[in-house]
Every structure is written in structure tokens, then in C-alpha cells.
Amino acid sequence: MPDAERERGFEPASGDGPESGGGPARAAELRTAYEGLLRIRRLLVGREDVPAPWELRAAPRAVALVLEAAGFPPSAVDAGGRRCRSGYRVAAAGAGPDRVEVSWPGPPGGGAAQEERERLTACAAELERHGWECLLYRGPRGRRFLEVEPAHRPPPGPAG
């Protein structure tokens, strides 16, 4: 791994990157990053089902990490910037630093539009289990997307 990449740390797939094979090294890094997320939550918030403060400042990264760790495939683009694989795409929603938009794009004619409702519903269930609130919307041309933000929960009680 190049030094610059090592300094940046693990970067979860957002769905806007190149198609990658993953492999055992990526799987090990993903597992370590996800376990770290849960450990930080336990230490800072006292629970695993509530996002930690750093997640609110880096919500797209945190949401992508949860989705990738759960085994959802990220979308991908080729060298020309065209979609070459269907899957989740995570992007900042623009409505605030802790809001994220999750969509299910794919290559033209690849069937992403037909499977997006089912796949986004499954993504929402996983994210909600991790303390995120998800609302399913229809956007331009009837394509669905999730708006994701931290769930509004009472402050956690004492860890224990």
C-alpha cells in the first residue's frame, strides 16, 4: 500500500470509484475499519446503535462503511466515468453535514431501476440498525433514493 494511502486510512467504497475485485486484503481492512467504528461507538456513546460524533462530521464515509461491511455492492464507474456496475452510491445530501443520499445506480439497461426499491429498502434496514434514520423518496425521472441522517434518540445511559 502506498504511503499516501496508508496515511489516509481505509476508504470505504462510495459507489463513484472504479470497479475493484476487493480480495482478502480489502476484506481484512474493511473488517478492521468496521470493528473500529463499533469500538469507537461503545467508547464515546456507550452503545453500538448510535453514531459517534466523528460519523456526524463524516456521514458519507460512515454510511458507506456500514453498507460495504454489510455486503452491499457499491456501484462503479469505468475510466470514462460511465456506470459499469449496479450498486449503492453514497453522497453528501447538501442539506447539512450529517445528511447523506444513498441511491442505487447502474449501467444503462442493467436493471438498477427495477431493483432499486428492494435494494434501498434493505440498505435502509441495515442503516437503521446502526442508528441512522432513512426516508425513501422518488427523485427526477421517478428514481428512488434514501435520505439518511442520524436517528433522533435520547442521550445514551451509562455504559454497562
pLDDT < 70 regions, the chain: 1-8, 21, 152-160
* Residue 9 pLDDT: 80
Candidates 48, 31, 30; CA nearest to 39 is 48
Sign of CA dihedral 132, 87, 30, 92: negative
8 Å CB contact between 12 and 68: yes
- The predicted pLDDT at position 20 comes to 76
What is the reported pLDDT for 118?
98
Digit-coded pLDDT (tens) for 32-75: 999 999 999 999 999 999 999 999 999 999 999 999 999 999 99
**Whole-prediction pTM:** 0.89
